């Protein structure tokens, strides 16, 4: 295991996944990126189960109202909360958490789903390459800042859940090969001169998914045992989604053909997000990468000696960056992580 296998990929694509049925009537749930695609379908599944509360996020206020109306209509649930959260902005992440705390909200499960796919170098207003910030740094910031709230609702009988949406494309990520020799890994990945290579930017989306896998491994290893928060990454499989909306026309055509031949329905893929967020067995999934709702091995790179060394360095670099963005990060790490 640990390698991408085309025949296994095809088998999984045709696997019927379990429909979520857990009792969430006493649970408060949060879904990031719920206006389209996998996040939207996951939110519909959760709303149909009538949780105590459901909070969804989209990139702006207009999309918030549209997503709220759509999910309430399709699920029959009323009273869904919908807040803006723009992952290209660290300030937006901080504002979301500030609002969450000010309103005294609780969370039993957080599905961190939003992501982008780009193949050209562009920086956010915070100074980071867009995919690196949205798929990794902002997701990590949100996860750390929400950690105390997840810990608060976890119990010895049932841990709360943090689900970060990764992908099986992390198996083919190659940019980190040799990264153990770099002085600073994140600075290198963010360097415009380094990113001019088409090979580097062509690998950026798979790389971001690998970074998420490594982040979850490091975070989960630092949570006390028994953990009050079960953390996992999931592979939703190759699905019909809006992820390709920002790619160039030729690449969009290629993806469209692949979608027609191989893609799972978006609703089927969304079950992989919902399953670890609400179904029993969360502590057995803690710290693991999941595919088709089962624990499987990460990539050979992640499992290898270099991957483990780079993983620890990435954690330290990431926490340093996030602590400079929000002083709560160091306090959370000191109080809640080993």
Active-site positions?
166, 205, 209
Q: Shortest CA distance to 286 belongs to which of 209, 196, 214, 223?
A: 223
Task: Give the span between the Cα atoms of 214 and 273, in whole angstroms.
Answer: 18
Task: Measure Cα distances from 19 to 64, 270, 289, 290, 329 in Å.
Answer: 26, 10, 20, 16, 36
As beta bridge partners, residue 163 has 111, 232
- Rounded to the nearest 10 degrees, what angle do helices 61-75 and 37-48 cross at? 40
Question: What CA–CA distance (Å, rounded) separates 154 from 103?
Answer: 20
Rounded Cα distance between 123 and 4, Å, is 31
Nearest-angstrom CA–CA distance, 82 and 109: 16
- Pairing of β 109-112 and β 160-165: parallel
H-helix or E-strand spanning residue 297: none
Beta-sheet strand order (sheet of 294-296)? 81-84, 53-58, 28-31, 109-112, 160-165, 229-235, 289-291, 294-296
Two structure tokens written together for 85? 């959260």
**Residue for token pair 């790389």:** 207
Instruction: Please answer whether residues 96 and 142 qualify as being in contact, where contact means their C-beta atoms are separated by less than 8 angstroms.
Output: yes
Total Cβ atoms within 10 A of residue 221:
15
Helices (H) and strands (E) in the chain, counts: 15, 8
């Amino acid at each position: 295991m640990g390698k991408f296998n085309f025949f296994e990929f095809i088998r999984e694509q045709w696997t019927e996944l379990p429909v979520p049925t857990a009792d969430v009537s006493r649970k408060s749930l949060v879904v990031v990126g719920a206006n389209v695609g996998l996040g939207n379908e996951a939110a519909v599944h959760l709303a149909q189960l009538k949780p105590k509360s459901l909070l969804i996020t989209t990139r702006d206020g207009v999309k918030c109202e549209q997503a709220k109306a759509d999910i309430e209509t399709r699920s029959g649930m009323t009273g869904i909360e919908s807040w803006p959260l723009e992952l290209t902005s660290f300030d937006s992440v901080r504002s979301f958490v500030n609002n969450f705390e000010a309103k005294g909200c609780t969370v039993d499960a957080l599905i961190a789903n939003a992501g982008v796919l780009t193949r050209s170098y562009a920086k956010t207003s915070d100074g980071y390459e867009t995919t690196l910030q949205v798929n990794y740094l902002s997701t990590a910031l949100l996860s750390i800042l929400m950690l105390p709230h997840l810990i608060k609702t976890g119990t010895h009988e049932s841990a709360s859940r943090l689900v970060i949406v990764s992908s099986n494309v992390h198996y083919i990520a190659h940019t980190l090969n040799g990264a153990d020799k770099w002085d600073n890994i994140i600075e290198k990945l963010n360097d415009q001169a380094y990113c001019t290579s088409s090979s580097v930017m062509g690998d950026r989306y798979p790389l971001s998914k690998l970074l998420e896998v490594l982040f979850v491994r490091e975070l989960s290893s630092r949570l006390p045992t028994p953990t009050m928060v079960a953390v996992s990454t999931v592979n939703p499989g190759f699905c019909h989604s809006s992820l390709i909306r920002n790619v160039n026309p030729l690449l969009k055509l290629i993806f469209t053909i692949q979608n027609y031949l191989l893609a799972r329905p978006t609703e089927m893929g969304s079950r992989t997000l919902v399953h670890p967020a609400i179904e029993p067995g969360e502590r057995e999934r803690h710290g693991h990468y999941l595919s088709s709702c089962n624990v499987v091995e990460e990539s050979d790179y992640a499992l290898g000696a270099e991957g483990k060394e780079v993983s620890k360095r990435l954690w330290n670099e990431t926490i340093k960056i996030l602590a400079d963005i929000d002083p709560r990060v160091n306090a959370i790490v000191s109080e809640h992580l080993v």
